[in-house]
Amino acid sequence: MISSNLSLNSKEFRKFLNSLAKINDSSILEISNDEMYSISASEDRSLFLWASFKGDFGVDTTLNLPSISKLSSIIDIIGSPEIDFNIASNKLEYRGCSVKFDYHLYDDGILNKPKVTLAKIKSLTYDFTFEASKNFIRSLLKNSSIFKGTNKLYIYSEDNHLVWSLADRTMTNSDNLTIIGDAVDFEMDEFILNLDNIRLLDFGDCEAVVFNVNKNGIGKLELHSKDLELNYIVTSLTQ
């Protein structure tokens, strides 16, 4: 790798890093002049995150990050609104007035790329789109703690309204909580999410999440904030 410079907005870059770190602490970052992106997979491969960070980076390279959380913590220590890295052959170098550090990178091939490619994610199409506020999702997660052993969220339409149900229909005599949501003009069968995946969403400054669902049971949950775009790809549970 030829040595080059990388200039970043520290606050937005940390948001980008923190969203990835919630999924997996190691990641491959692709940088192409005006965009930095990464695809990260949860441990059980039930959720994929395509995180995209826009900016005028001026470089075209790949960074293999061994620990995202460590890099985020280092940037926090610097405390500068803008940060300039030198990308050397195997590390990121920072040389400030009061703080200097080297953050070593993995060589190519050590980290495995997720099997879901960016081209595949972009090719997906959806039949239903709806929105839920950050406060509503957080309320659902809070209420889920009341129902011990229930870790599923069923989303479907009924009587021209969205329905959100905390339940587990594979268990007999299990408690459930059902909330009637906004009016909709479509009929959607059950889309079932593992609440653990919902807990991985990084809202940051976003006030709402956009749900995109297709009839094959694939969903994309979108979060947008300034130069940061987060796309969580999930598959509906069978029951």
**pLDDT for the residue numbered 1:** 46
pTM of the model: 0.93
DSSP 84-127: EEEE-SSEEEEE-SS-EEEEEPPPTTSSPPPSS-HHHHHH---S
Cα distances (angstroms) measured from residue 202 to each of 54, 138, 181, 188:
17, 11, 23, 26
Which positions of the chain have pLDDT values less than 70? Answer: 1-3
Is 7 within 8 Å of 83 (Cβ atoms)? yes
| All domains of the chain in start order, with CATH | 4-112 (3.10.150.10), 124-235 (3.10.150.10)
Q: Give pLDDT, residue 28.
A: 97
Tokens found for residue 21: 């770190």
pLDDT digits (tens, 9 = 90+) for 75-124: 999 988 999 999 998 999 999 888 999 999 999 999 998 889 999 999 99
